[in-house]
């Protein structure tokens, strides 16, 4: 893997609030933006790393990947190496649309490739440049941040007549999201979905309350018999515990004969981690297909491994993992993060890091949050302050994507 850039990965959600795809982005630290002066080179570097060095399963699971291209990439044949069922070819707004480019796109379409138009703005210049592609692409990405909202409302009726799915990008607030839903967008992308309040339950499932109870009991060193009594009252917890132990994430080979047996096989540390994951599951505790879970898992795993690579060391890695998981609990329970940590039997250092991003562990949390926000300037400061280089960070993030993919079932 190159030691001077890393791959950004932004989730793209469908109308059901589920992760449908990820956009893969070339990112070079020390600059406010990607600062890509050669789009074809940036695309090639991302693809080489994604396909040959990292592996698509680690990076994407079974989701699709959006990859940026321009006229050079389209004409140069790079698209030929892409698995057409797993990638969406995203045509950059800087692309020079020539007759040769149009014919090449038509050829790829016949082969089964999927295309998207990037960063559409409702200007005469953009429409005049790209209208020849409107009938060739499958997805049109609207740059929501730079669109006049009333003009967008008026034009959506026209855009909906095209045989395409509309994607709203740079959706940053719940107000933005609600407006885009009203207009009929199918896909959504933006920092708002790193903390996707839109999928939160309006009331707290009783089994989630029991899950918090079990977490606190484990912290207080309750015995297996006491834990079993609580779990027996919530069959969904037990069923999901069995599913987890039989998944690729745990690799258990023995048959589980009882709740106490399951607890013994899993161990208290793994049981605690699993209970935190359950809090992110859907309303019926039967699904981990949830962008909130993926974000929390990537945060937790990345913080754990960054901790091991810095002066904090192995000793603090367990706390770092826990902080990553807890940091999104306010969304799960519709409460403030301050209220959440009061209910959990955790150390003050963990509470301070989660609530105030205080201390060294708080800095790790801020680092992964800034990565999620694609704040490249902030990332350079973190590399210097925390003491992790770009190459090591890249490897940690890829491993974290793969880990979250396994836990959430994206790889299944």
One-character DSSP codes across 76-89: HTGGGGS-TTTEEE
The larger pLDDT score, comparing residue 186 to residue 54, is at: 186
> Within the chain, which residue ranges are assigned CATH 1.10.3210.10?
198-412
pLDDT digits (tens, 9 = 90+) for 291-316: 777 888 888 899 999 998 887 777 88
- C-beta of residue 34 within 8 angstroms of C-beta of residue 42: yes
pLDDT at position 109 is 94
CA distances for 283 relative to 16, 188, 208, 294, angstroms: 14, 22, 10, 16
pLDDT at position 310 is 81
| Range in 199-213, 311-325, 344-358 with the lowest mean pLDDT | 199-213
CA distances for 339 relative to 213, 315, 326, 331, 365, angstroms: 15, 27, 12, 12, 19
**Residue 251 confidence (pLDDT) above 70:** no
Which residues lie closer than 8 Å to 66 by C-beta, 6 or more apart? 12, 21, 22, 23, 24, 87, 88, 90, 116
Most confidently modeled of 136-140, 333-337, 373-377? 136-140
**Residue 225 confidence (pLDDT) above 50:** yes
The larger pLDDT score, comparing residue 12 to residue 345, is at: 12
Distance of alpha carbon 88 from alpha carbon 114, whole angstroms: 5
pLDDT tier for residue 235 given thresholds of 50, 70 and 90: low
* The architecture CATH gives domain 6-194: Alpha-Beta Barrel (3.20)
> Within the chain, which residue ranges are assigned CATH 3.20.20.450?
6-194
**Residue 224 confidence (pLDDT) above 90:** no
**Residue 189 confidence (pLDDT) above 80:** yes
**Residue 200 confidence (pLDDT) above 60:** no
Average pLDDT over residues 8-13: 84
pLDDT tier for residue 98 given thresholds of 50, 70 and 90: very high
pLDDT at position 1 is 40
pLDDT at position 374 is 77
For the domain made up of 198-412, give the CATH fold. Answer: Hypothetical protein af1432 (1.10.3210)
**Residue 3 confidence (pLDDT) above 60:** no
**Residue 236 confidence (pLDDT) above 70:** no
Cα 263–chain centre separation = 30
Query: Helices 259-266 and 224-232, interaxial angle, to 10°?
Result: 120
Average pLDDT over residues 262-266: 79
For the chain, what is the mean pLDDT?
A: 78
| Range in 5-19, 162-176, 192-206, 383-397 with the lowest mean pLDDT | 192-206
Distance of alpha carbon 376 from alpha carbon 366, whole angstroms: 13
pLDDT at position 353 is 94
Beta 19-27 vs 6-13: how paired, if at all?
antiparallel
Which residues lie closer than 8 Å to 399 by C-beta, 6 or more apart? 58, 301, 305
**Residue 35 confidence (pLDDT) above 50:** no
pLDDT at position 55 is 66
- C-beta of residue 12 within 8 angstroms of C-beta of residue 187: yes
Average pLDDT over residues 105-117: 94
């Amino acid at each position: 893997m190159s030691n001077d850039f890393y791959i950004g990965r932004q989730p793209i959600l469908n109308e059901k609030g589920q992760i449908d795809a990820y956009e893969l982005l070339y990112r070079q630290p020390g600059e406010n933006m990607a600062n890509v002066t050669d789009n074809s080179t940036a695309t090639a570097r991302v693809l080489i790393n994604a396909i040959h060095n990292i592996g698509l399963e680690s990076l994407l699971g079974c989701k699709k990947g959006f990859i940026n291209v321009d006229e050079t990439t389209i004409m140069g044949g790079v698209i030929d190496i892409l698995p057409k069922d797993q990638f969406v070819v995203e045509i950059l707004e800087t692309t020079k649309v020539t007759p040769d480019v149009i014919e090449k796109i038509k050829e790829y379409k016949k082969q089964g490739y999927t295309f998207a138009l990037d960063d559409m703005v409702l200007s005469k210049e953009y429409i005049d440049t790209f209208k020849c592609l409107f009938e060739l692409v499958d997805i049109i990405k609207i740059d929501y941040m730079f669109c006049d909202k009333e003009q967008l409302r008026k034009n959506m009726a026209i855009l909906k007549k095209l045989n395409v799915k509309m994607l709203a990008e740079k959706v940053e607030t719940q107000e933005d999201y609600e407006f885009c839903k009203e207009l009929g967008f199918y896909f959504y992308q933006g920092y708002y979905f790193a903390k996707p309040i839109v999928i939160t339950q309006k009331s707290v499932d009783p089994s989630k309350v029991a899950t918090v109870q079990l977490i606190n009991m484990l912290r207080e060193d309750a015995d297996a018999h006491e834990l079993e009594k609580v779990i027996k009252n919530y069959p969904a917890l037990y069923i999901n515990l069995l599913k987890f132990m039989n998944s690729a994430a745990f690799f258990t080979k023995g048959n589980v004969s009882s709740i106490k047996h399951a607890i013994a096989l899993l161990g208290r540390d793994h049981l605690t981690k699993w209970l935190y994951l359950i809090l992110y599951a859907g309303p019926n505790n039967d699904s981990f297909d949830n962008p909130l879970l993926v974000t929390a898992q990537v945060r937790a795993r990345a913080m754990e491994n960054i901790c091991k690579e810095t002066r904090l060391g192995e000793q603090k890695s367990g706390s770092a993992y826990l902080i990553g998981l807890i940091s999104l609990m306010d969304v799960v329970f519709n409460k403030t993060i301050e209220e959440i940590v009061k209910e959990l039997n955790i150390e003050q250092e963990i509470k301070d890091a989660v609530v105030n991003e205080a201390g060294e562990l708080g800095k790790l949390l801020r680092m992964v949050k800034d990565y999620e926000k694609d704040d490249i300037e902030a990332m350079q400061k973190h590399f210097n302050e925390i003491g992790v280089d770009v190459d090591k960070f890249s490897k940690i993030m890829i491993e974290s994507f793969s880990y979250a993919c396994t836990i959430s079932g994206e790889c299944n």
